[in-house]
């Protein structure tokens, strides 16, 4: 067997090939372009790489054009965590020396000694990979939107409490189009107090509001003209300009999140597994796309439901040494899947009587809210693994038979 290790960098990559005995057969530095990729494939072919028996490759990233070119055919590509590679580096010396060619050799030796202990990149379909790109981008846009919204809210508290009070009755307050339109029209409390009813109605209509415009305009006018503390005029104008800069960022990220959500939902509904995922209570198109993006559609990726639960971070982990025995939550997990699972479990409480009864039971035995949610997510992940494996839809009576009896 020949094993290949690649130390990835932005402009170039170092390649090392070793045999079963650990002997270094070849090392090469390639550029990050088409000619470099061809040079790498020629080097692998020189040492026996064929379409039926490709040489396995270890690399510290799972994305990029280099990984995409290597994954063509039956080749196994192993994405080794850089922290794990650093631990392996200490096995060959205690001087803590480090070099790019040396890291490539370490990665090749990881496959030579411990390849069964590492998981190759899953063989997902192109549609599943596209859904993963869109769902992760939409999730990032959602997190960025919340972060900028929090910054804007913190800034408004310093000089514009009337805006916070006016938008408090709306869900998603500052992220709503009406709130952004009004802030753009009146960036300071003085300008907001001078707005007429007609200007407020026009702003609400531009934001897309259809019903209750007159009543809402009257309510906003009363709030903006209320008695609030004020900053000095010059300071207030400066803070208004700062707020407008944040508002432009919020507008952009809100638009991006909405467009990415539509694209992710459209791609998700085309996938064969979408019907199974949407049959589960609490899983909508966006959350379902996020779950599918992280677990993929390669049915051989997880050997059993326990592997999937450990990957999602819902299964507990045991630390035992001597007389010490501790069972706690997992810190190393797929954070994106774990976040989607929390939303899934929380939404299922209203959509599934069995899930709600299971959650209530966990709270009664002493679990905190997050613990009960994680326990419910862990159980539903096992059900999802079964349904995807056997191509069956979710059945409430089979999923929570005892819980339904208690609820009745």
Domain residue limits, the chain:
3-117, 130-266, 275-407
Q: Count CB neighbours of 356 within 10 A.
A: 18
Distances (CA, A) of 362 to 92, 348, 369: 48, 15, 9
The rounded Cα 159 to chain-centroid distance in angstroms is 35
Q: Which of 112, 104, 109, 106 is nearest to 15 (CA)?
A: 104
Q: Report how far residue 193's alpha carbon sits from residue 39's, in angstroms, rounded to the nearest whole number.
A: 68
pTM: 0.86
Two tokens, residue 294? 């992280």
Strands 324-328 and 24-31: unpaired
Q: What is the pLDDT of residue 180?
A: 94
Q: Is 40:18 a contact under the CB 8 Å cutoff?
A: no
Q: Report how far residue 380's alpha carbon sits from residue 43's, in angstroms, rounded to the nearest whole number.
A: 47
Distances (CA, A) of 310 to 84, 117, 313, 341: 18, 15, 5, 13
Determine the 3-state secondary structure of 223 from DSSP. Answer: helix
How big is the chain by its Cα radius of gyration, in Å? Answer: 27
Q: What is the pLDDT of residue 407?
A: 54
Q: What is the pLDDT of residue 406?
A: 54
Q: Which of 175, 118, 176, 141 is nearest to 290 (CA)?
A: 141
Which fold, 3-117? Nucleotidyltransferase; domain 5 (3.30.420)
Judged by phi (left if over 0) then psi (alpha if -120 to 50, else beta), residue 315 lies in: beta
First to last CA, the chain: 61
What backbone phi and psi angles, to 5 degrees, belong to 245? -65, -45
- Residue numbers of the chain with a pLDDT score lower than 50: 403-404
């Amino acid at each position: 067997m020949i094993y290949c290790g690649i130390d990835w960098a932005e402009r170039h990559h170092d390649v090392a090939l070793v045999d079963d005995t650990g002997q270094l057969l070849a090392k090469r530095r390639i550029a990050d372009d088409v000619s470099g990729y061809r040079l790498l494939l020629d080097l692998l072919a020189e040492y026996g790489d064929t379409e039926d028996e490709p040489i396995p490759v270890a690399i510290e990233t799972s994305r990029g054009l280099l990984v995409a070119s290597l994954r063509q055919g039956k080749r196994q590509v192993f994405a080794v965590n850089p922290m794990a590679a650093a631990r392996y580096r200490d096995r060959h010396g205690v001087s803590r020396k480090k070099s790019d060619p040396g890291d490539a050799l370490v990665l090749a030796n990881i496959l030579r000694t411990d390849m069964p202990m590492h998981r190759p990149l899953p063989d997902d379909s192109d549609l599943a990979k596209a859904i993963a790109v869109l769902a992760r981008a939409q999730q990032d846009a959602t997190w960025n939107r919340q972060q900028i919204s929090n910054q804007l809210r913190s800034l408004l508290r310093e000089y514009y409490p009337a805006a916070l009070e006016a938008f408090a009755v709306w869900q998603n307050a500052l992220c709503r189009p009406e709130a952004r339109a009004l802030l753009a029209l009146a960036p300071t409390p003085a300008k907001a107090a001078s707005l007429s009813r007609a200007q407020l109605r026009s702003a609400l209509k531009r934001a897309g509001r259809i019903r209750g415009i007159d009543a809402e305009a009257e309510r906003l006018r009363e709030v903006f003209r209320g008695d609030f503390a004020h900053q000095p005029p010059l300071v207030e104008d400066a803070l208004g300009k700062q707020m407008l800069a944040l508002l432009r960022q919020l507008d952009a990220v809100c638009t991006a999140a909405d467009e990415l959500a539509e694209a992710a939902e459209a791609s998700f509904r085309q996938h064969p597994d979408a019907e199974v995922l949407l049959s589960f209570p609490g899983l909508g198109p966006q959350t379902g796309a996020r779950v599918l993006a992280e677990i993929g559609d390669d049915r051989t990726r997880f050997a059993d439901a326990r592997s999937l639960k450990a990957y999602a971070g819902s299964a507990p982990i045991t630390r035992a040494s001597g007389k010490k025995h501790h069972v706690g939550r997992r810190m190393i997990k797929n954070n994106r899947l774990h976040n989607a699972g929390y939303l899934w479990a929380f939404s299922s409480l209203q959509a599934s009587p069995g899930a709600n009864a299971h959650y209530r039971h966990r709270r009664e035995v002493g679990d905190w809210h997050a613990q009960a949610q994680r326990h419910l997510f862990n159980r539903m992940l096992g059900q999802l693994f079964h349904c995807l494996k056997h191509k069956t839809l979710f059945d409430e009576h089979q999923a929570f038979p005892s819980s339904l009896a208690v609820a009745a």
